Amino acid sequence: MSKCKRFLVLFIVLIPIAFFFFVLKDDGEIKRDNIEIGYKTNDESQRIIDPQNKVDRNKEIIVSTHFKDNSEKEKQNKKFVLKLANIRDKSNVLMEETIPNDEATSGYEFKISPGKLSAGKYQFSLYRDNNLSIRKVFTFK
């Protein structure tokens, strides 16, 4: 009887471990559209290393966008537009970047040169087919 109890206890312990390992494992899939700002990217993952909310405007920064794949739920001709505006006057768009799109588009990155913008709070807004997908506020110091 004790062998049966040990087997049952072992089975009860292994089931949750297997569940967490296989079902809840992060497979690297992007869960939602995202905007990251920083100074360096990881060449392998194409992600910003140590993303920042406050950046030094005297250093070149990298803006990286990552797109969730909704191809089975959406029409294929998505249009991505990234807009930059000062947080005080969001109607005054300082920069607008239309992101090239094809079936394999999963992200886009570009650089902002030092000193191009004055110190203050800014907002990036990513639009997917003219609908706001995500907003990211950051500070140039």
**pLDDT tens string for the chain (141 positions)?**
577 777 777 778 777 776 666 655 544 555 678 888 899 888 777 788 888 888 888 888 888 888 777 655 555 556 778 788 888 877 788 888 887 766 666 777 888 886 777 888 888 888 888 888 888 888 888
- Residue listed under structure tokens 């297997």: 18
Q: Is residue 15 part of a domain?
A: no
Domain region containing 132: 29-140
Cβ–Cβ < 8 Å for 133, 82: no
Q: Is residue 8 part of a domain?
A: no
CA angle 11, 17, 23 (to 5 degrees): 120
Q: Is residue 135 part of a domain?
A: yes
Number of H helices, E strands in the chain: 1, 10
> What pLDDT, on a 0 to 100 scale, did the predictor assign at position 125?
87
> What pLDDT, on a 0 to 100 scale, did the predictor assign at position 74?
53
> What pLDDT, on a 0 to 100 scale, did the predictor assign at position 122?
86
Residue 127 neighbours by CB under 8 Å, 6+ apart: 79, 80, 81, 82, 83, 133
Q: Is residue 9 part of a domain?
A: no
Q: Is residue 12 part of a domain?
A: no
- Residue listed under structure tokens 């739920």: 73
> What pLDDT, on a 0 to 100 scale, did the predictor assign at position 123?
87
Q: Is residue 43 part of a domain?
A: yes
> What pLDDT, on a 0 to 100 scale, did the predictor assign at position 104?
61
Q: Is residue 17 part of a domain?
A: no
> What pLDDT, on a 0 to 100 scale, did the predictor assign at position 20?
63
Q: Is residue 24 part of a domain?
A: no
Q: Which CATH number belongs to the domain containing residue 82 in this structure?
A: 2.60.40.1930
Count up the domains in the chain and report the number.
Answer: 1
